[in-house]
């Protein structure tokens, strides 16, 4: 279980993440949504030790991991991807994943086996020997995911793994994520592609201006006025007024 307790970070004047408390269990596929600049990536940075919080604490499987280094957090079974993929461009797809599997498995043959399994899970077996540089975005995103899976995590935090994908690739990625979740790994995804969020997740957390403004099922979030207002701003107020006007006629 992943838990944040009033986690907060301030950057000279801006509170990017503002007293966010959340509990995430592996039995629900979770999405974190919110407008650009809401603090989603910063929240992942706080959870995974890339950024120290100004206030608050992070717990993973009942251990207080606040202040731990990123590699210690990976060791504890919590692993993340980055919004902008960070691949070893000159290495092959397989070797990129090996970097992940060697994290735990020091015997190269066993590590290679784990890497192949991770590639199979994301559907990249065919291009295992290609170099990472020049891969299209859809493959880069899946490779990043394979690398995270190769660390044999208990829970993965995915920062926009569907960003920039075609609708077909989004469908394929959704299947991959559902497969990972069904395999018993906790999945937490930051995502802007609402069709995928609504279809895939069981529980949605909504951030706006650093604050957690709503938590609920896709159905609940879809019909939540506070959430609509955060996304649509003034347009929302106008749409509401129009709706009221029409109802009155």
Ligand X SMILES: Nc1ncnc2c1ncn2[C@@H]1O[C@H](COP(=O)(O)OP(=O)(O)OP(=O)(O)O)[C@@H](O)[C@H]1O
The binder of 34, among Mg ion, ligand X, none, by C-beta within 5 to 8 A per type, is: ligand X
**Considering the complex, what minimum distance in angstroms separates the CB of residue 75 from ligand X?**
25
For residues 64 to 93, the per-residue mask of contacts with ligand X, x marking binding by CB under 6 A and - elsewhere, is -------------------x----------
Residue nearest to Mg ion (CB): 41
Q: Give yes or no for residue 168 binding ligand X (CB under 6 A).
A: no
Contacts of 59 (CB under 8 A, 6+ apart): 1, 2, 3, 4, 5, 65
Q: How far is CA 226 from CA 57, 220, 235, in A?
A: 27, 11, 13
Q: Give yes or no for residue 11 binding ligand X (CB under 6 A).
A: yes
Could you report how far apart the first and last alpha carbons of the chain are, in Å? 51
Residue 41 vs 101, nearer CB to ligand X: 41
Rule CB under 5 A: choose which of 22, 29, 30, 41 binds Mg ion. 41
**Considering the complex, what minimum distance in angstroms separates the CB of residue 159 from ligand X?**
7
**Considering the complex, what minimum distance in angstroms separates the CB of residue 32 from ligand X?**
9
**Considering the complex, what minimum distance in angstroms separates the CB of residue 36 from ligand X?**
4
Residue 38 vs 119, nearer CB to ligand X: 38
Element (H, E) at 112: helix 108-122
Torsional sign, CA 42, 47, 50, 54: positive
Beta-strand (E) ranges in the chain?
2-11, 14-24, 30-33, 55-60, 63-64, 78-80, 155-159, 186-190, 203-208, 211-216
Residue 12 vs 36, nearer CB to Mg ion: 36
**Considering the complex, what minimum distance in angstroms separates the CB of residue 188 from ligand X?**
14
Of the CA atoms within 13 Å of residue 117, those in its CB half-sphere come to 16
Q: How far is CA 48 from CA 2, 44, 187, in A?
A: 11, 6, 14
Q: Give yes or no for residue 186 binding ligand X (CB under 6 A).
A: no
Q: Give yes or no for residue 96 binding Mg ion (CB under 5 A).
A: no
Q: Which of 73, 26, 60 is nearest to 185 (CA)?
A: 26
Q: Alpha-carbon distance 71 to 229, whole Å? A: 38
Residue 35 vs 123, nearer CB to Mg ion: 35
Residue 38 vs 221, nearer CB to ligand X: 38
SS3 of residue 215 by DSSP: strand
Rule CB under 6 A: choose which of 20, 38, 94, 187 binds ligand X. 38
Q: Give yes or no for residue 42 binding ligand X (CB under 6 A).
A: yes
Residue 37 vs 164, nearer CB to ligand X: 37
Note the residues at the interface with ligand X (CB under 6 A). Answer: 11, 14, 16, 34, 36-42, 83
């Amino acid at each position: 279980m992943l838990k944040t307790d009033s986690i907060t970070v301030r950057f000279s004047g801006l509170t990017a993440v503002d007293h966010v408390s959340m509990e995430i269990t592996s039995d629900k596929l979770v999405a974190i949504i919110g407008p650009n600049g809401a603090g989603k990536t910063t929240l992942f940075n706080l959870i995974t030790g890339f950024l120290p919080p100004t206030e608050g604490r992070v717990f993973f499987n009942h251990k207080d991991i606040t202040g731990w280094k990123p590699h210690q957090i990976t060791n504890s079974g919590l692993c993340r991807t980055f919004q902008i993929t960070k691949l070893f461009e000159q290495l092959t797809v397989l070797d990129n994943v090996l970097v992940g599997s060697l994290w735990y498995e020091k015997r190269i043959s066993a590590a290679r086996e784990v890497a192949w399994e991770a590639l199979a899970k994301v559907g990249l077996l065919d291009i295992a020997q290609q170099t990472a540089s020049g891969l299209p975005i859809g493959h880069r995103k899946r490779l990043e995911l394979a690398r995270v899976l190769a660390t044999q995590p208990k829970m993965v935090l995915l920062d926009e793994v569907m960003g920039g994908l075609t609708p077909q690739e989004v469908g394929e990625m959704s299947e991959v994520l559902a497969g990972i979740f069904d395999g018993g790994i906790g999945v937490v995804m930051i995502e802007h592609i609402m069709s995928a969020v609504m279809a895939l997740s069981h529980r949605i957390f909504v951030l706006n201006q650093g604050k957690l403004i709503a938590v609920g099922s896709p159905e609940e979030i879809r019909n939540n006025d506070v959430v609509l207002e955060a996304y649509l701003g003034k347009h929302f107020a106008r749409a509401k007024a129009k709706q009221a006007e029409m109802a009155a006629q």
